[in-house]
Structure 1
Amino acid sequence: MPCADLAPQPHGIEHELATLLVEALNLEVAPAAIDPTAPLYGEGLGLDSIDILEVALEVSRRYGFQLRSDDANNQLIFESLRSLAAHVAQHRTL
């Protein structure tokens, strides 16, 4: 029997992160209702810089790596739930 690929699937991480966003930020939206391609910041989900900081802290705690405020790629990382999930999938240690 072939060995199953145990790497987390992006859609699974998208759901985990959508749940993290709702719980950490007390959003009044169901995780499944978050469009994975919609912007997180400003229009779209409507997060502000303080929200993004809270999300970064929660991601660090839950997935075992630091999202740094001085990272030149932050705009791309936090562009959407899908881009955040791809970054987490690539860098997670937990």
Structure 2
Amino acid sequence: MQSLYLEIKHLIIKTLNLDELTVDDIDTDAALFGDGLGLDSIDALELGLAMKNQYGIVLSAESEETRQHFFSVATLAAFIHSQRV
């Protein structure tokens, strides 16, 4: 899972042009939105599209379940892992 965490962190940095951050700046278990990394709904859409392109998974923007998957790098990794099996 550690390599998947790194992949997701790199994807976040690249997709959202967060060049001032490194993978070490993104806490695996911290919230990506709000008080955590501070991402917003536009970032969520861009990240969702990147996830679809990178991993072939489709997430519903309206779903409460999707919001839970997008909570942190760890929850995203768990979701991606579950979709691969």
Gaps of 5+ in 2: none
Corresponding residue pairs, total? 84
CA distance in 1, matches of 2:56, 2:32: 22
Q: Give the whole-Å Cα distance in 2 for the aligned partners of 1:65 and 1:76.
A: 15
Are 2:60 and 1:42 aligned?
no
C-alpha separation in 2, matches of 1:65 and 1:75: 15
Map of 1:83 onto structure 2? 75
Q: How does 1:1-94 map to 2 (within 5 A)?
A: 10-27=1-18, 28-92=20-84
> Can you list the C-alpha shifts for 1:61-83, whole angstroms capped at 9, x where unaligned?
00012011122302210111100
Q: With structure 2 as the length reference, what TM-score do the two structures score?
A: 0.91
Gaps of 5+ in 1: 1-9
Q: Runs of at least 4 residues of structure 1 off by over 6 A?
A: none
Identity of aligned residues (%): 37
Distance 1:49 1:82 in 2: 19
- Please give the TM-score of this superposition, normalised by the length of structure 1: 0.83
Matched-pair contact (CA < 8 Å) for 1:77–1:87? yes
RMSD: 1.3
- More helix by proportion, 1 or 2? 2
